[in-house]
Amino acid sequence: MNRVLVTGGAGFLGSHLCERLLGEGSDVVCIDNFFSGHKDNIRPFVAHPYFELIRHDVIHPLFVEVDRIYHLACPASPIHYQMNPIKTVKTNVMGTINMLGLAKRIRSRILLTSTSEIYGDAQIHPQPESYWGNVNSIGLRSCYDEGKRVAETLMMDYHRQNKVDIRIVRVFNTYGPRMAVDDGRVVSNFIVQALRGEPITIYGDGSQTRSFCYVSDLIDGIRRMMDQEATIGPVNLGNPGEFTILELAEKIAKMTGSRTKFVFKPLPSDDPVRRRPDISLAKAKLGWEPKVSLEEGLARTIEYFKETLSTRNRT
């Protein structure tokens, strides 16, 4: 049986990955410190006989015997990773060293979920993996952006120096069910605001762009990356459809049938102006591209939040 460790397994992406791996017949060990994840995310499969949960912080060493490590542990929403920026750096640096040390010791393959944030406020569009990025090293987002850049460096150095078998994916904005109601990222914020009849908060003038990938597509990409031999990465994973934040707000307002107003708030510092993945490498090396359209993905996500908010109101 394939024994798999998922760090950050109680988070948004981690919980979907654990569920997929259990469905494929793997024996899954999930570790999480519940900084931004929640037990509700793993509730659907917590009683599965091949699922095991360990409350653990990756900044401390851990020893478990597994065949594969998916290293996701790190808050991903700007409000979460900026809440305790020093901890965010520690999670990325010490956490990745600990997981690489484990991979080296037990000779297991390790995959890191890096991020499109390593491209910063990109000067090249769309962003290919060969682009080195434009990141502010001293800004409010740096704890995450630079933390992930060091995590990538550590992955490559453990690979070159210690022959650790690595895979790196750079994840672009991904959304779907199990994002937290108070997650703070744009898709969940807009849907929750629209469903509650609260004003939709647009930062800046809403002309900045993002590309939104539905969670099931992203998990497919991660699974393909882990199981293939052709490339260690980094490989971009994301949906190349590009939308302004204003377009997203209009779409969500229409799909929820909400008559809510838009309010414009100051743009957070270092907020990237344009973002869209070049996924040529993922197509060529993994035979992967997203299948779920934004409308379809938003419809499923809106259903999830309707159910979640109505359950909250009942209790």
Binding site for ligand UDP (CB under 6 A): 78, 173, 185-186, 189, 201-203, 208, 210, 245, 268, 271
Q: Please, which residue, 237 or 258, has the CB nearer to ligand NAD?
A: 237
- Is 220 a binding residue for ligand NAD by CB under 6 A? The answer is no
Closest CA to 105 of 163, 58, 56: 163
Choosing among ligand NAD, ligand UDP, none, which partner's interface includes residue 11 (Cβ < 5 to 8 Å by kind)?
Answer: ligand NAD
Q: Please, which residue, 78 or 290, has the CB nearer to ligand UDP?
A: 78
Choosing among ligand UDP, ligand NAD, none, which partner's interface includes residue 37 (Cβ < 5 to 8 Å by kind)?
Answer: ligand NAD
Touching ligand NAD, residues 13-52 (CB under 6 A): 13-14, 32-37
CB of 129 to ligand NAD, least distance (A): 14
**Does the annotation mark 144 as catalytic?**
yes
Q: Please, which residue, 176 or 206, has the CB nearer to ligand NAD?
A: 176
**Residue by residue, what is the 3-state secondary structure of 1-54?**
CCEEEEECCCCHHHHHHHHHHHHCCCEEEEEECCCCCCHHHHHHHCCCCCEEEE
CB of 112 to ligand UDP, least distance (A): 18
- Is 91 a binding residue for ligand NAD by CB under 6 A? The answer is yes
Of 119, 144, 158, 214, which is the active-site residue? 144
Cα 174 from chain centroid (whole Å) = 6
Among 26, 98, 108, 174, the residue binding ligand NAD under the rule CB under 6 A is 174
> Are the CB atoms for 288 and 240 separated by under 8 Å?
no
- Is 72 a binding residue for ligand NAD by CB under 6 A? The answer is yes
Distance (Å, whole) CA 98 – CA 58: 7
Q: Total residues contacting ligand NAD (rule CB under 6 A)? A: 29
- Is 260 a binding residue for ligand NAD by CB under 6 A? The answer is no
Q: Please, which residue, 171 or 194, has the CB nearer to ligand NAD?
A: 171
> Are the CB atoms for 208 and 244 separated by under 8 Å?
yes
Distance (Å, whole) CA 199 – CA 267: 16
Provide the β-strand partners of residue 109. 68
DSSP 55-119: E--TTS------SEEEE--S--SHHHHTTSHHHHHHHHHHHHHHHHHHHHHHT-EEEEEEEGGGG
Window 107-146: contact mask with ligand NAD (x via CB under 6 A): ------x-x-------------------------------
Q: Please, which residue, 72 or 102, has the CB nearer to ligand NAD?
A: 72
Angle (deg, nearest 10), helices 12-23 and 215-227:
60
283 burial class (0-12, 13-18, 19+ CB within 10 angstroms)? Answer: exposed
Q: Which of the stretches 73-81, 157-165, 200-208, 254-262 binds ligand NAD when contact is defined by CB under 6 A?
A: 73-81
Choosing among ligand NAD, ligand UDP, none, which partner's interface includes residue 30 (Cβ < 5 to 8 Å by kind)?
Answer: none
Per-residue buried b or exposed e for 90-118, using 16+ beta carbons within 10 Å of the residue's own CB:
bbbbebbbbbbbbbbebebbbbbbbbbbb
What residues make contact with ligand NAD under the rule CB under 6 A? 7-8, 10-14, 32-37, 57-59, 72-76, 80, 91, 95, 113, 115, 171, 173-174
Just list the catalytic residues.
144
